[in-house]
Amino acid sequence: MSPTADFTELLAILDLRQIDDDTFVGSHPSKNPVRTFGGQMMAQSLMAASRSLKHALPPSALSVHFIAGGDPGKDLEFHIVRLRDERRFANRRIDVMQDGELLTTAMVSYLSGGRSLEHGITPPDLPDPLSLPSVDDLLRGYEDVVPHFVNALRPIDWRYTNDPAWVMRAKGETLEHNRVWMKAVADMPDDPALHAAALVYSSDTTVLDSIITTHGLSWGFDRIFAVTTNHSVWFHRPVRFDDWVLYSTSSPVAADSRGLGTGHFFDRSGQLLATVVQEGIVKYFPAKG
């Protein structure tokens, strides 16, 4: 399947079916990991919450706790709890259910604050995305090492500014950060909620990589178990996800079989668009010998 077809599938799964005022149903794409991709559930949760608003408000924050894994062979139900509805503020809780089991709980805040003080951190000086190889180029020769990446849905164009984990590992190097240019592979509808959802979907891709690359490890090469426990996104400015954004991530700490990944999304002008923090259970099983 082509990247454009994968992108069409992403738009399709974000177009939730509404059952009643507070219940939506979401499907899965044709390519899935063993369990429902967390970025998918988060993006669909944001779309469900946004479709329930009384006033057109931009999201300000999303916080998700993952409780159980989803079955990609079954639809997901998104149950909305309306916590607040005002002209400039709104809050929603979204419970993601499957066969009566709670998989995920998300909290979404919406705020239209207007202009006030502004500042932001400066992004690193990096090559233009179009000068960098595509992720397909970087996967060539590693098909047997990371087949789950090769066969994954790829509606987003990734352009690594550094070696990805599998290339770094083959070179015997370590890396304390990962920086990737990202954009949708095709033009998106002029819907701010969809662009925010695409950012949320993508925020669950490389954010934990720095935990393992800090130790010179890689998915596929090494025996690593990783699962996300919670994920938060703060939206600072509106985003256009069919234009290039930089996702710069690092890991400040790993301890007690848990690792923390932090990330920032920047637009091409250097403005900070969103901040991400994700915690995951990360266990490494060294080879015996």
pLDDT tens figures, 54-67: 999 999 999 999 99
Please state the rounded mean pLDDT for residues 218-232. Answer: 96
pLDDT of residue 289: 60
pLDDT at 288 over 80: no
pLDDT at 173 over 70: yes
pTM for this one?
A: 0.96
Domain 3-113+127-284, architecture per CATH = Beta Barrel (2.40)
Please state the rounded mean pLDDT for residues 174-186. Answer: 96
Calculate the average pLDDT of the chain.
96
Q: CB–CB of 221/164 below 8 Å?
A: no
Please state the rounded mean pLDDT for residues 166-181. Answer: 96
pLDDT of residue 70: 96
Phi, psi of 11 (to 5 degrees): -60, -35
Q: Measure the CA–CA gap between 32 and 184, rounded to whole angstroms.
A: 19
Q: What residue type is 260 in one-letter code?
A: L
Task: Output helix, strand, coil percentages for the chain, rounded to the nearest 5.
Answer: 20, 35, 40
pLDDT at 1 over 60: no
Please state the rounded mean pLDDT for residues 6-27. Answer: 97
For 229-265, how does the pLDDT look when each residue is reduced to its tens digit (9 = 90+)?
Answer: 999 999 999 999 999 999 999 999 999 999 999 999 9
pLDDT at 2 over 90: no
Q: Measure the CA–CA gap between 229 and 235, rounded to whole angstroms.
A: 20
* DSSP bridge partners of 249: 178, 263
For 106-158, how does the pLDDT look when each residue is reduced to its tens digit (9 = 90+)?
Answer: 999 999 988 899 999 999 999 999 999 999 999 999 999 999 999 999 999 99
